[in-house]
Structure formats: structure tokens, C-alpha cells
Structure 1
Amino acid sequence: MPNRKVMNGMICSFLVIVLSLFGCSSTDAQTNAIYQNFTDVHNQFWAKDEVTQLVDMGIINGYPDKQFRPSVEVNRGQAANLLAGALKLPEPAYEPVFKDISNKSSFVKGAMATFKAGIFIGKEDGTFGAGDSLTREQMATVLVRAFNLEDTGEHIEFKDEARISESHKEGVKILAQHGITTGKEDGTFDPKTPVNRATYAVFLHRAMVKEGLIEEVPEVTFIEPKVFGSYQDTRFDQNFVEVPVSNKAKTYLRSTVHLQYAGNKTVNHRHAKDIIYTYKVGGLSPAVVNVTKRELENGDYFLFTEIRNPQRMPIRVDVIQTEGELEKGILREYSRFPIKKETDDTFGFDGTTYPTGVFEITSKEGTKAQKMIGKAYRSKELELKYPNGESSHTRELLDESEAFSGVTLGDIQLSVYTLSSRGYDIVDQWILHSDQQLFSTNERMDAWMLESATYYKKRNKWYTANGPYNKMATTIEPMPKSGRGYGRNLLLVKEDRVMALYNETQERYYESLLYNSFANLDIFRGKKTYWETEVTSTYLKGLFGITAPFVDTRFNEQIALFLYNGGKAFGHADYNLGLKNYADLLASQKDKGNIIKVDATSYYVQDYFPTKQKVNTHTSMNHLLGGMNILLLAYEEFGDEKYLKTANAQFSAIEKDVNRWIRPDGDIWYKTSPDRTFVGRDYTHLTLEDLIHSYEMWTNIDPSKLPLFEKLIRSKAGYLNANQLGYTTKIKKGLERIGMPELLPAGEEHTDAL
């Protein structure tokens, strides 16, 4: 028996000889396959060869969303433009020949050129009929005129001959004589039916081949494109407007309704710039589409798209982006990390999940760019007005949906982001673009995605141009009956966890999220020097009658620290501005009466002070410590004695009440009320983090105060240890820094404080 390797070699040699004798190399079978120009002109499409050749020659083209739309009807104006281009007719000067063709019409060149050439002669009413559908019998006549086809004398008759207009019978007959049309399979010509784009392309192609203007090319075979998500072609005609977002990627809005450009404006933030493009929907409709490009200082940009639809009419708008010079594209999805949904008494059920994922593009030069793609969020805006003229603002989340789908056509990436409004709603979608890698390694990307799935309630995912929306506590108003109340939570507008990860890894994604957070805080604050909540807490309303807006001292303290630390990390000249503004606000509260007095020199600053209401509220230990720490930091930063004086007054109050603050079980009471009673169970971990921070701050300013904080730290840590409630990473590192690692409580380590 012959050796198998020898036999294989003989077969391969024989095939090479055969292929060479017939003028075909061994690689021709592979090179015959080409990439699709359009998503809807594929291997199963009946007119693919004709369309492909005419497109390659620049005679016909498709739409910005890489579709040809073969079933869309051709109007007379479009037919004239195509013929003028195919025949390379000279472009004559404009003449007011037709009532419906002005010198600014998109059909003026085709109409003038084909009229001068005797191809289109217009209608009896003096119009060109540019917007009228071109019928099959009209097509026959104009093609006969365009290519000077003559009667061969052959008898041609269709079963529906009587339906063909007298003015077009000659054209239909001659077109059939030349084999450019054979009619329908049932023997009819179907003269009155409008011609679609595919049919027109085929007939035009046949006429050009017949007259020797082009050569017929061999049948084409397409390489199957790579599809992402649930991509689907839109068969019907669409309206497109280009949004000037980037020079590297073409961006369009696509919709079945008319979109009218209504202008743009630029809003400068301290470390970002917003360019907002507005489009009116459907003429007189009150609905609008806002597209906000947020340019960040590192060169990345967010693209926020919003439909505001205060009417019953459903609206679908797609953001279309095409990018070229692509070698390959990969979508790395969050869904690889399933979320375990749960309901709790504080927040109820959170219907949001996480973004779609990171789309990575590798260019032909080998460089990689990434973009983070958000889902679409459909919501309803809620407002509750109060007698004092103020109001509380939330949203009801109606649904979260997958927005992204796409197709790779050779070296072109088509991405589609779908926003669907059902009426009386708002729809948001966002994308973060970077010309570089957002994550330097897949491992770091996966770590963030896993963390986002694990802590989905505390990681932002519903971003808008005005800030992120998150599930609010059940004790807010207005709360919809569905319980799906969402709002802009100031503690989540600032991205503390992202800041920690940026300091640790320097990843670009975290850097861009921080720039976005700085801008969102700027937007939220408005013209004031501090931040007020926009949502009413029914808990505080029940206790004190407080409604939004009001100052939450803890929120302002953490924002001031966030901007201070972030500004220093990013080299911002204004890094300490938020710190100064908030320290000034705290130092002014004694004169405003927003304190709980202990004695002549000792007092607590209240947790909350409303804008328009004169109300005395409680002071909780965590708010108290946070404010005191801010004052000490401001004293170190600016050297102003008023900050130290206010901090000393609060320390003195804690010192006098220290034994009252400690519960019998060693935990800390949550708060002291205006009448100086101590009530409530403290946060599990948060206050211990604050106590450690206070210990560190006073170490540098007045070490004599440290024994008080050590007493409180030991009591709180002992309670956590006895109950095995665990600790946070901040607690662990903080105890190590102050030389008390032995106090680390037993139990699990947590990323976020409970």
C-alpha cells in the first residue's frame, strides 16, 4: 500500500497542474470572496451582483447606516439623479422649468440634466414630480430614452397589455425587445407598480451592459459578516441627521420620524466641556432628542443621548456610528458575571443591572481603542411641589433594555444604539469613547465587571448628561406605586470607589469616570457653593417636617473630600475650593442657629439644615465626625483659626458626652436629638472609619485629644469583634496606620461600609 504522505503530495501536485492549465491559481477560490458593502445585500439577495458593481462604480450608493434598502421605492427625482450619474450627463445651468424644482433642491442636477437630454420631460401640471414614485412603465420609457434603444420589430405582448398607458407602451415593448425586461413570471408587466431600489438597479445595470457602457462581472460571493447583539435591518425608509461628534467616527441619528436640527450650545465645566445638540421630533411635536458630547481633559468623551417625549406618540431613535480601518472588533460583556438579585427593606428591589460591556477595536496598524457601552433606560419624571414653593424630584424607572447591536463589514464597524420611547417618558443611553484602552489588561477589566455585578446597587450604570440615577431608599417622595423610584444620590454622583481604584491602578476608565463625576457635581451644585439634595426623605419629613431641598452635612463633607483628593491626584489648581466652601458653611452654622448646644463653648452642628425652613434637627456621630475632620483639614490647608475653633467646640461636646455616646453593648448610639437624648443603632462600619480618620487628623494638630478617640475606637471595634461583624478595607488599613492592628474585628472584609 502506498505511503499516505506520498499519496497526499501526488494529489496536491496534480491539483496545482490542473489549476494552472485552466488559468486559475490555488488561491483564487479564496480571493473571489469579498466583504459586503451593505448589511442587507448578502449572498442570498437576488440582485447582489448588479448592486455591488454599480456601487463599486459610484453610480448608486446606500444609506449612512450601511444598508441599501432594496425594497424602498425610487421616486422620479432619485431616478433622474442616478441616470445623470450613470450616463455622466453634463451639468447644465439651473432654469426654472419645473414648479417643484428650485436651485436648492437635492434633485436639481438630475432634473436639469435629464430634461436637457430629453429623458425626463416633466408632467402636464408643470412639475417634475420629483417626489412621485417611479412606476415600472415610466422606468421603461426613461431607460429607452436614456440609452437610445430602438424598436427591433420583434412582436412583444404582455398579458396585462391593456393596463399599460398609451404613452409608455412603446417604451415597455422596446425594453422587452432588448431583453432588459422579461416581465413577471405570470406573463404580466405590472406597469403601475412603483419600482424599488433593487429593481431599478438591475434594470439600469442590464441597460448599461447591453449598450457596452460596463462589462458584466462574475458572480460575487460575500464573506459572512460578524454580528453583535440582536442586530436587525430596518427595511423601510428612514430619516438621518449627522451629529458632528468626531472626525474618526461618523455619527448619525436615524428615525422613522423627521428630525429637525434646533441648534447647539456649549457648557463649560471646570474639567470638562459639554456640547449639546438638540433635534425636534416630527415638526410640531413637543418631543426632542438631545445629544450631549462631554469632552474630558484626557481626550476621551461621553456621548449621552436622551429622548424627551411628553406625548402619546411612540418614537424610536437609533444612534448610528461607523468606524473604518478596522482589523477586528471584540465585545466583552458584563453578562459573563451574573447578578444575584435581592430585595431589602431599605431600598426594595433595584431593577438596574450593569452596562452592556466594552467594545474593543483593533486598527490595521495594531492600535487598540475601547468604548464602554451603556444600556437604555426608560423612565418617567416625577415632581412633588410643597406649599413653600420648593419641590422634590425623582424618576420612575419603567425599564432597562439592551441598546447595542452591530455588524462588522470588512474593515468597517457599524454600531447601532437604540432608544425606544412609548410616549410620556424619557429615554437615556450613554457611551464612553476612548482612542486608547480603557483597561490595560483583560484581568483588570474582568475584575471591575465582577465587582459591578457583586455590588450592583452601589455602582453607577444609568448615566445621563445631568448625572447618574440610582435606586433610592423606600423612604423618599415622590415614590411611584411601583416602588421603582430613582434619583440623583449625591453620595453616588461622586465616585469614591472609582477614586480608590484609580489611585491603585491608574486605569484610564477610572480616570474618565472621575472627570465625568467632577462635571456632574458641578452641574448638580449649580450656582451655589455647596450641594443641596433634590429628594425629600419621608423619614426626616416625619421627624422634623423637612422637605427638599436641604443641606445634608455628610453629603457635603464627602463631596468636599472627593474633590480635594481627586483634584490633588489630577493636579487641579482648584482642588481645595470645595473644601474651603464647605468649611466656611460649617463655621457659620452657630450664628445661624443650626446647632445642638451642650454648654457655652461646646455644641454639635446639626446633620441637616433646610433651605427655607427653620427647623432644629439631630446630630449623628458619623455626620459629626465627618464635619469635624473637614474643619481640621481646612485648618491645615488654609491656617484660618475659625476652622479650628469650630472643630474644638465639637470635640468639647463629644468629650462631655462621651459616656452617653457609648451604648451598653459597646456600640455607638446613632444620634443625639435636639433635646440631647441618644437613640438609634449606629452604622456597622462607617463610624469606625470616621473615628480612625479623626484620630489621624488630631494627631497632627493636638495629640492631647487622642485618648478620647482611642476610647471610642476600642469600644466600637470591640462591639464589631464580639458580634463578628467584620471590617472594611479602610478600617484594616486605618488601624494599621494608627498602630492598633490588634483591634481588627473578626469577620468578613468588605469593600463598602455597611
Structure 2
Amino acid sequence: MSSSTRPKVILAGILTLLLTLFGCNTIGANSMEIEQSFSDIHNDFWAKDEVTQLVDLEIINGYPDKQFRPTLEVSRGQAANLLSKAFQLPDTPYRPIFTDVSSKSSHVKGAMTTYEAGIFLGKEDGTFGVGDSLTREQMATVIVRAFKLEDTGEEIKFADQHRISESHREGVKILAQHGITTGKEDGTFDPKTAVNRATYVVFLHRAMVKTGKLTETAPVLFTKAETFGEFTPVRHEQNFVEVPVSKKWKTYLRSNAYLQFAGEKTKKHAHSTDTVYTYNIAGMSPAVVNVTKRQLQNGDHFIFTELRNPQRMPVSVDLIQVEEDVTRGLLRKYDRYPIKKNADGTFGFDMTTYPTGVFEKTLAEGSKAQKMIGKSFRSKELSLKYKNGESSQTRELIDESEAFSGIRLGDTQLSVYTLRSRGYDVVDHWLLASDQLLFSTNERMDDWMHESAIYYKKRNKWYTANGPYNKMATTIEPLPASGQAYGRNLLLVKEDRVMAKYTETEERYYESLLYNSFANLEIFRGIQKYWETEVTSTYLKNLFGITAPFVDTRFNEQIALFLYNGGKAFGHKDYNDGLLNYADLLVSQKNKKNIIKVDATAFYIQDYFPSKQNVKTHASMNHLLGGMNILLLAYKETGKPAYLETANSIQSAIEKDVAKWIRPNGDIWYKMSPDRTLVGEDYVHLTLEDLIHSYEMWKDVDPSKVAVFERMIRSKAGYMNTHKKGYTTKIKNGLDRINMSELLPAGLEYTDAL
């Protein structure tokens, strides 16, 4: 468009702009101390004063991640928006003047108002050029027009005068006449170079000061910002989407790729609610990011972030939280307690460690809140399909890495959780947030962290929205060449140790982990009334031809007890659903012939029930005792005769075979094969725990049945004492309860059974 067609009406006045810096202190006569507003605008930054003043006046803004990104190029559309704000230009009705500016464009106001004011005239091709970089010579012209700067008559030429476009030579000359630009140190103006954000702000600021539209303030001095982790500003352009997971603070996804909202869905569990926000990564379909907020009944919530990238191209996604009114931040890390790594013959080497730590914030009104921050886990999903249509599912863990970094700028806390994909992988991260303290004392927090370091193999640290992942035994399939196979181990999806810690302390952290465990067990079970494994054991496959999925009686017994005890502790109406469902399953096994018969009234229930295979497996003592105890508990809950009848059949079988079950050295054989031969080394501690429990259950239901269990307790405990196998806290307390504390084996006390 030619200058003859441009609007003649130019804004007559500019509202006087005044700077008001809140919470600042005067330092000497020439500087003011203030809080840093952006992580990349610091005391050593050359344009800090100009940026600070124009940001405070809301003429220019930073990005949602509290960065200014001073080196990013300014587009013509952005420059128009900035000038519209600086001059407070009145709204102008939309007109289809430019082919690249629609009524819904983010640049429509800037384009319309600056065109009406005669500042931007558009391009000869009929576009505004909203996405084109603003060059230094274009910047000179628009500033001269905006501020109505006049030619002083001073002759000014730059060394590269010939490179300045004819249409912009006057603007460059006038800008220099007024001292708003002096050009480069080498005498050039560099007209074709794109203007970055810092340079544009400085030129705009100078023009406003020169024309009396702005009073220049004293230089600012920033107080030192507090950082956490390896915090580094991301200087290049990023894409942002807000994730509505909280009304109290802002949460964003940030990525070097374009993010597009793809949907929201809600899934209600018995004692929590999941809301899943899905975002497509444009240009990399079907790569997606899923952010799941799990709202717990106690008010706390988990945030699970999952980056799925089934393509070759790497991509990085950050979950960002911006919290206001934070006066202090403190990160207590797990790595104060080093882990002594070791490999064993069953599980090999476990790469995982523990979460990053607990971040504690103090709010302006004095209250404190904590969140537990997990690490990032990058893995590949593995699946092995079988002829029956079923499959076995594992993951190969590629790496575990620190995800958290942060900075506190004044009373704003910025937390960044980074997920980096290299392609063909899944990256997970989790955090648990509370408005209160997760741990009431630092001593209790440190106790848990120390315990997690010692028992790192048995403490969940890789949480996902579908449950925790843990190192699987080397006797599973599919097993990657690296040996780093991880899966959802049902014995660790239910968090027994957390239950014990909650019973002992009632700490909020354990309460929230239990709510999460309830949800994970519900998700794992699906539409079934019991739990089937999703991983094939090559040990069982080689013995019996069993592949996943199958019912493991020990897993189901312990899950039923976990939900029973947890449900009672939390006052859940459904506390015995899992117990009764599993007891019904055990009762049905006689008719299904999944038993090892001793006589007409005595039998053992086999350890495993394959989903689609008719296979008879062994019966191990710990499984038998666990199932029998479940049946007795179900009988006590309901009085249903079938439960007691099945429990009597198992007790009778053990009583009739007790002499066979006890080995010559006093220990217990591990299992009975379908042909009733006894083989295998028993667990070190676990079976004694079960025997004590069985003794107590029968003493309550029918004391005439306890003699066989006392005999086995004395034999097993005697063997353990002779060989100094030690004991668990559960064994110690159990022997005290049944008045057999003199049987406590010699050796160390353990938290977890071996």
C-alpha cells in the first residue's frame, strides 16, 4: 500500500505512563533493589532496566514460564501489538485490509490500530506480514512514525548506507538524529538484521524517554533468585498450553513442538477420581502427552505426566507449575542417603533408585505445604503374543533421570519437570501435591527416605497413572537383552509397607499413597473380580506351560488382605469386597479340579489358575496358608459354611501330611507337586509369618485345629535359630501375641520378609 492511501488521522495524545515498582528498596541514590521477574533477565543483562520498566507498565510481557527470551526475534505482528499497548491506541473495528489478518488473529488489534494510526502500512503484496521478522530499518521507520519524530537537518550517514532500503533511509536518519540509535560500533546500521525482543524494548524505551512520554527510572538491582536442581532457562521459542489441573496455581505444558488439545476424560474410582488431559504433538502424530490428575479423598492429588513418542524424532516436553505467594522454598532430597547397589540371581541389577525428594513451600500467610517429586523414567513397551490370543507385557527401562528444576522469583515459585524422548519410547513422571505437610516432622521424612535407600528394590518410585513399575525377575518374558525388564508387580501395587507405616504414624504421605494404591489395584483388575498377572514366568512356563494371564493365589490373598485392612482403616463400605470375591474363587476350585487331593475330605488348592489353559500346578506351603487364612477371615465376616468347609479341607490335608512337610533339618519344604512329592527351599521368613497367622486364625475359629501349626512353628523357628536366619518385625510381634516369644530366631531383625 502506498503512503498516499494511509490514514491521515494519527493519535493526538498519548496517556502519560508512570512507573510503580512494588516492594522495592532504594540502594544509594542511583539504583533500586527489586525482585527478579524473569529467570533470564538478571543483573548482568545489558537491557535489564528498560525491560523491567516496560514490563512493569504492561507494555510488553514475558512468557508463562517466567522467561523474557530477549534474543527471540520480534515479528511485525508482535511489534504492532507492543506499540498498540505502549500508545494505548483505541480499539479499531476489524476490516479485511490484510490477507494474513483475520478477525480471530492474535495480532488483529495491533494490526488494525497501528494501521489506523499510520504507524504500520502493510506490504505491497496486500499482507501485513504478521509473521515476518521486523528488521532494524523497519523498526526505525515505525518508531519515527509512532512518535512523530521530525528531521532535525543533521546529516547522518552510516558505513552501510547503501544497504538501507530507500523507503527506510529517512526513518533510520531521523532515529539517529534523535540519539535513539547510534548504530553499531563499526559505524554500520545493519539494516536487514532482524530485531530481537531486547533491542526492540530498548529502542522503544529510548523513544518514549526522548519524547517525554516516559520518565526514566533509576537503575534496578535484582536480589539473587533462589534456584533448585539444574535450572537453566530455555532460550529458544517454545509452545505453551495451559493444563487446568488446579485453581490455585497455573500449570502449563511447554515444548519445542506444537501442542494441540485432543480431549479430556474423567474416570471415577471407588476412592479417587482421575481427570486425563490429552495433547497431540503436531507433526509427530500419533505422539501424545497425557496429563492425569488423580484427586484423592483427603484433598491431595497426584499428577502423572506421560509422553508417548512412537516415532524416531526426539521431542522434549516440560510440565511447569507457577505458584504465587511463596516466600520460601526448600528441597529435601533422597540422595542424602546413598544406595548400595547389588545384583542378585533372581532380579539381576535394578537401575532404579528413589524419588527426587520433598519440596516444601512456605506461603505468605505462614502456612506450609509439601509435594513429593518423582524422577523421569524412559522406557520401551514390550509385548509377546501367544497362540491362545493372550500376551505378556513388560517394559525395558532405558534410563532414570532427574526431572525437577526450579527458581523462586520474588514470591513466585516456578517448578519445571522435564520429559525427554529420543524416539520410540514412553517417558513418565509423577508428583504428589498437598496443601498441607506430607510429613509432620523432618525426622519422619528422613526415616522414610533412609528406609527407601536400604530397601530400594521393594519401594515404589516409578509411578504411572496405571500403577507402579518395578524390576521383574530375570525368569520372565519378554525379557530384553539388557535384562532391564520392568512391570506391574501385583505384590508391589499393593503397598503393604506403606500400610504398616500409616498404621504406625498416620502420616499424610502414607495416607495418600494408600489411596493411590487402591486406585491402581482397581485399574489393574479391570472388569474381573480378582487379579490376573500380566507377565509370563518362564519358570512356570517351563514347568507347566503356563503363560500370562493367570491367577496367582498368593497375590490375590495378599491383595484381599490389603484392601480389607486398608478399607477398615479408612472406613470404606467396600472393605471386604476383594476378600469375599477371592474366597468365592477358592471355594470354586474343588469343582474345577484345580486341587491336589489327599483323601475324600482333604485337599490342597494349587498355586496358579491359568486364564485359558487347563493345567494342574503345584501347591506351596505359603500359598496354602494364605488361602486358608482368607477363607477363615471370610467365614468370620459372613458365617458362610462353604468358606469354613474349604478351610477345613486344607487344614486337614496339612495335618495328615505334616510329617512329610517338615524336612529333616527342621525347615519346611517349599511345595508339593501334583504327584504329591515335596521339593524346594522354603522362604527364609515368609512361611513362619503365615504359620503364626494361621495359628491365630484357627485359635479364634476352632482351637482344636491349632496343634499342627504349633508343631510347624516350632520346627521352622528352631531351624531359623540354628542357622541364625534372623526374623522380621512381623514374626517378633506375632510370637509375642501367641505367647511363644522364646522361639524368636537368632540373628538380625528385618523390615521385609526374605
Name the TM tier (shorter chain). over 0.9
Distance 2:463 2:33 in 1: 43
CA distance in 2, matches of 1:282, 1:226: 35
Q: Find the aligned partners of 1:657 and 1:31 in 2 and give their Cα distance.
A: 90
What are the superposed Cα offsets for residues 444-494 of structure 1, whole Å, 9 maximum, x if unpaired?
000000000000000000001100000001100000000001000000000
Q: Secondary structure at the match of 1:36?
A: coil
The 1:154–1:385 alpha-carbon spacing in structure 2 relative to 1, beyond 3 Å, is same
Q: Distance in 2 between matches of 1:461 and 1:27?
A: 48
Alignment of 1:325-364 (within 5 A): 325-364=325-364
Matches within 5 A, 1:720-735: 720-735=720-735
Q: Which amino acid aligns with 1:41?
A: I
Cα-to-partner distance string for 1:269-326 (whole Å, 9 max, x where unaligned): 1111110011111235211011000000000000000111100000100111111101
Q: 2:316 aligns to what?
A: 316
For 1:540-555, list aligned pairs within 5 A. 540-555=540-555
Kept in 1: contact 2:604–2:653 (CA 8 A):
yes
Partner of 2:489: 489
Which amino acid is the alignment partner of residue 576 of structure 2?
Answer: N
State the match for 1:378 in structure 2.
Answer: 378
Question: Partner residue of 1:646?
Answer: 646
Partner of 2:613: 613
2:474 and 2:352 map into 1 onto residues whose CA distance is 16
User: RMSD over aligned Cα, in angstroms?
Assistant: 1.1
Report the Cα offset of residue 32 of structure 1.
2.6
Query: Is the Cα contact below 8 Å between 2:604 and 2:619 reproduced in 1?
Result: yes
What CA distance in whole angstroms lies between the structure 1 residues aligned with 2:424 and 2:640? 52
Give the whole-Å Cα distance in 2 for the aligned partners of 1:580 and 1:122.
76
Q: What's 2:629 paired with? A: 629
Aligned to 2:12: none
1:229 aligned residue: 229
Number of the residue aligned with 1:478? 478
Please give the alpha-carbon distance, in whole angstroms, between the structure 1 residues aligned to 2:575 and 2:727: 30
Give the whole-Å Cα distance in 2 for the aligned partners of 1:430 and 1:284. 24
Aligned to 1:567: 567
Distance in 2 between residues matched to 1:225 and 1:509, nearest whole Å: 30
- Paired letter, 2:721: N
What is residue 10 of structure 2 aligned with on the other side?
none
Does structure 2 retain, via aligned residues, the 8 Å contact 1:326–1:363? yes
In structure 2, the residue matched to 1:459 is 459
- Equivalent residue for 2:151? 151
CA distance in 1, matches of 2:53, 2:248: 27
Q: Would the aligned equivalents of 1:272 and 1:515 in 2 still touch at CA under 8 Å?
A: yes
1:139 aligns with 2:133: no
Residue 33 of structure 1: CA displacement?
1.5
Is the CA contact 2:330–2:361 (under 8 Å) kept in the aligned structure 1? yes
1:280 aligns to what?
280
Query: 1:406-417 maps to which residues of 2 (within 5 A)?
Result: 406-417=406-417
SS at match of 2:591: helix
Q: 1:70 to 1:505 in 2, by over 3 A?
A: same
1:346–1:474 contact (8 Å) kept in structure 2: yes
The one-letter code sitting in structure 1 at the alignment partner of 2:275 is: I
How many Å separate the matches in 2 of 1:499 and 1:185?
70
Give the aligned residue type for 2:234: T
Q: Distance in 1 between matches of 2:571 and 2:94?
A: 60
Q: Deviation of residue 44 (structure 1)? A: 0.5
Secondary structure at 2:437 match in 1: coil
C-alpha spacing 1:29/1:178, structure 2 compared with 1 (3 Å): closer
Question: 2:397 aligns to what?
Answer: 397
SS at match of 1:591: coil
Distance 1:319 1:624, change over 3 A: same
Instruction: Count residues with an aligned counterpart.
Output: 730
Residues 153-202 of structure 1, C-alpha deviation per residue, up to 9 Å, x if partnerless? 01110000000001000100111111111111110000000000000000
**SS where residue 302 of structure 2 aligns?**
strand
Superposed CA offset, 1:72-95 (max 9, x none): 000000000000000010011111
Aligned equivalent of 2:665: 665
Taking the aligned partners of 1:571 and 1:298, their CA distance within structure 2 comes to: 13
**For residue 33 of structure 1, what is the aligned residue in structure 2?**
33
Question: Are the equivalent residues in 1 in contact too, given 2:314–2:422 (CA < 8 A)?
Answer: yes
- After superposition, the Cα gap between the structure-2 partners of 1:213 and 1:418, relative to the gap in structure 1 and judged at 3 Å, is same
3-state SS of paired residue (2:524): helix
User: What secondary structure sits across from 2:293 in the alignment?
Assistant: strand
SS in 2 for 1:380: strand
Identity of aligned residues (%): 74
Secondary structure, aligned partner of 2:192 = coil
Aligned residue in 1 for 2:14: none
- In structure 2, C-alpha distance between the alignment counterparts of 1:47 and 1:26, rounded to whole Å: 20
The change in CA–CA distance for 1:83 and 1:584 in structure 2 (over 3 A counts) is: same
Which amino acid counterpart does residue 495 of structure 2 have in structure 1? E
> How far off its partner does 1:247 sit?
1.4
Q: Tell me, what secondary structure is at the counterpart of 1:344?
A: coil
Q: Distance in 2 between matches of 1:242 and 1:625?
A: 53
Q: Deviations over 1:45-67 (max 9, x none)?
A: 00000000001111111000000
Structure 2: 5+ residue runs without aligned partners? 1-24
CA distance in 1, matches of 2:707, 2:736: 17
Contact 1:494 1:559 in 2 (8 A): yes
TM value normalised by structure 2: 0.96
Whether the 8 Å contact between 1:290 and 1:307 is mirrored in structure 2 is: yes
Q: Are 1:291 and 1:303, in contact at CA under 8 Å, matched by a contact in 2?
A: yes
Query: AA paired with 1:697?
Result: M
- Contact kept, 8 Å, 1:260 with 1:283, in 2: the verdict is no
Equivalent in the alignment of 1:587: 587
Amino acid at match of 2:278: T
Match of 1:298 in 2: 298
**After the TM superposition, which residues 50-129 of structure 1 pair with which residues of structure 2 at under 5 Å, given as runs?**
50-129=50-129
Distance 1:703 1:42 in 2: 77
Report the Cα offset of residue 416 of structure 1.
0.6
1:14 is aligned to: none
Once residues 246 and 177 of structure 2 are traced to their aligned partners in structure 1, the CA distance between those partners, rounded to angstroms, is 52
SS of residue matched to 2:598: strand
